[in-house]
Amino acid sequence: MSNRDLVVTENITLDGVIEATEGWFAPAGDEDDVDQSDVLAALQEQWEAADTLLFGRVTFEQMRGYWPLQTDDTTGIADYLNRVSKYVVSSTLQDPEWEGTTVLRGALVDEIQALKSNSGRDIVTTGSMTLVRDLIAAELVDEYRLFLYPVVLGRGQRLFAGATAAAKLNLVETRSFRSGIVLLRYRTA
């Protein structure tokens, strides 16, 4: 039995797209015309509950190429990402080049079960579409936190694309924000 929860947090459209294309979402605080302070507060709650981030290589490299360079970030996101423990699943990445990062090269299930068995707070993964689908398929996800955007794209990669088994989820929270975004939290049954 694990000590820590593995939480998948995704920005998602009404039609299930999690691919960050078309400019349909921006990190909290980046949209000048919309007050997202309530979304940022929800993210800060998540940061306080988590001490570990888990990424696939592509998302990790995107984050590493952006957030450490944000010296005037007033949201706190850059500070959080720079100080939290980060793990990246990759068989090709040699030097993560981001302080506090460990590369996981072993069998995914073994690596994640080992992380979950360590003491600590939540392990959160975001983006990382291939990794997230692998975690779902291996039944390693304990909770989904979906920031549902009032947008329909009609195309793009979806969170549960290719799911091979039915999953029963229990709704544990809904929270709406001024921007029209809704947070949906589900626990696996």
Of 96 and 165, more confident: 96
At 75, the pLDDT band (50, 70, 90 cuts) reads confident
User: What mean pLDDT comes out for the span 117-138?
Assistant: 93
Distance CA(177)–CA(127), nearest Å, equals 21
Looking at residue 76, its pLDDT comes to: 86
8 A C-beta contact, residue 42 and residue 124: no
Domain ranges of the chain: 6-188
pLDDT(35) > 60 = yes
8 A C-beta contact, residue 18 and residue 154: no
pLDDT(126) > 50 = yes
User: What mean pLDDT comes out for the span 90-109?
Assistant: 94
| CATH architecture for residues 6-188 | 3-Layer(aba) Sandwich (3.40)
Q: Which runs of E-coded beta strand occur in 35-142?
A: 50-56, 85-89, 101-104, 122-126
Q: Per the confidence metrics, is the pTM higher than 0.85?
A: yes
Distance CA(46)–CA(42), nearest Å, equals 6
User: What mean pLDDT comes out for the span 56-68?
Assistant: 92
Beta-bridge partner residues of 35 = none
pLDDT(2) > 60 = no
At 36, the pLDDT band (50, 70, 90 cuts) reads confident
Helix (H) or strand (E) holding 115: helix 108-117
Distance CA(141)–CA(134), nearest Å, equals 10
